[in-house]
């Protein structure tokens, strides 16, 4: 009889926890303690992939015989990374900058077994085209949804979807923070039954 390994989400994000609970009933969460500062001249896609792997590796040290899931996400507008706004003023500034433009979201995923190299590292790109936004509607949106802990200053799973003209992604949950299609495939390769 084989024993199923524990599954650990290397994150303190309530969004990632909720997403993972859509496909798995039994997992634990641990917040990784890593430095998320970009390296000099590091491309956004390299940065986000590195962070997912570092998060998973950091958490794996405390969880032998486990499968670890690390993820990260960044928002890039015209080559510049937009972080989490943390304040309403910064959120207004970010959404004004995105108005009428296309923004790329890079959501990384690293799945590994403790004590081993990463089984997979993937980056899913989501392209979001924003409508032309008026300052008053941006302010109303931020007041209603308070997306201050979200890269890009919106929650696409809520009212934030009304800010868009279109979006394109091969894995729609990636924009919320965890690409479940990609994750389910990686877990199946490790023998974890998702369905």
What is the value of pTM for the model shown? 0.91
> Which of 33, 35, 41, 72 is labelled catalytic?
72
- 79, 28 in Cβ contact below 8 A? no
In whole angstroms, what is the distance from residue 11 CA to residue 33 CA?
A: 10
Residue ranges covered by each domain of the chain = 6-189
Cα gap 53→48, rounded to integer Å? 9
Burial of 113 (0-12, 13-18, 19+ CB in 10 A): middle
CA distance 148 to 61: 31
pLDDT for 39 equals 92
Say which residues have a Cβ less than 8 Å from residue 115's Cβ, sequence separation at least 6: 60, 64
Res 3: pLDDT: 47
What architecture is the 6-189 domain classified under in CATH?
Alpha-Beta Complex (3.90)
At 144 the three-state DSSP class reads helix
Within 10 A of 121 (CB to CB), how many other CB atoms are there?
18
Helix (H, G, I), strand (E, B) or coil at 110: strand
Contact 2, 62 (CB under 8 A): no
3-state secondary structure (DSSP) of residue 145: helix
Q: Is 26 a catalytic residue?
A: no
In the prediction, which pLDDT does 118 show?
A: 66
Q: What does the pLDDT read at residue 171?
A: 95
Per-residue pLDDT of the chain in tens (195 residues, 90 and over written 9): 344 689 999 999 999 999 999 999 999 999 998 999 989 999 999 999 999 999 999 999 999 899 999 999 999 999 999 989 999 999 999 999 999 999 999 999 999 998 777 678 999 999 999 999 999 999 999 999 999 999 899 999 999 999 999 999 999 999 999 999 999 999 999 889 888
């Amino acid at each position: 009889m084989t024993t199923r390994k524990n599954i650990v989400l290397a994150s303190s994000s309530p969004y990632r926890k909720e997403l993972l609970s859509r496909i798995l009933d039994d997992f634990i969460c641990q917040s990784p303690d890593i430095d998320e500062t970009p390296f000099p001249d590091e491309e956004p896609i390299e940065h986000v992939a590195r962070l997912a792997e570092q998060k998973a590796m950091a958490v794996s040290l405390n969880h032998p015989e486990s499968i670890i899931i690390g993820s990260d996400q960044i928002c890039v507008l015209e080559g510049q990374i937009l972080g989490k706004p943390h304040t309403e003023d910064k959120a207004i500034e970010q959404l004004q900058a995105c108005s009428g433009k296309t923004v790329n979201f890079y959501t990384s995923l690293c799945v590994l077994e403790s004590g081993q190299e990463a089984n997979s590292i993937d980056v899913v790109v989501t392209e979001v085209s924003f409508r032309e936004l008026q300052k008053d509607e941006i302010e109303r949106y931020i007041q209603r949804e308070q997306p201050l802990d979200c890269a890009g200053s919106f929650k696409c799973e809520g009212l934030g979807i009304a800010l868009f003209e279109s979006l394109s992604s091969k894995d729609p949950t990636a924009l919320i923070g965890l690409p479940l299609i990609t994750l389910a495939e990686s877990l199946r390769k490790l023998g974890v039954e998702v369905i």
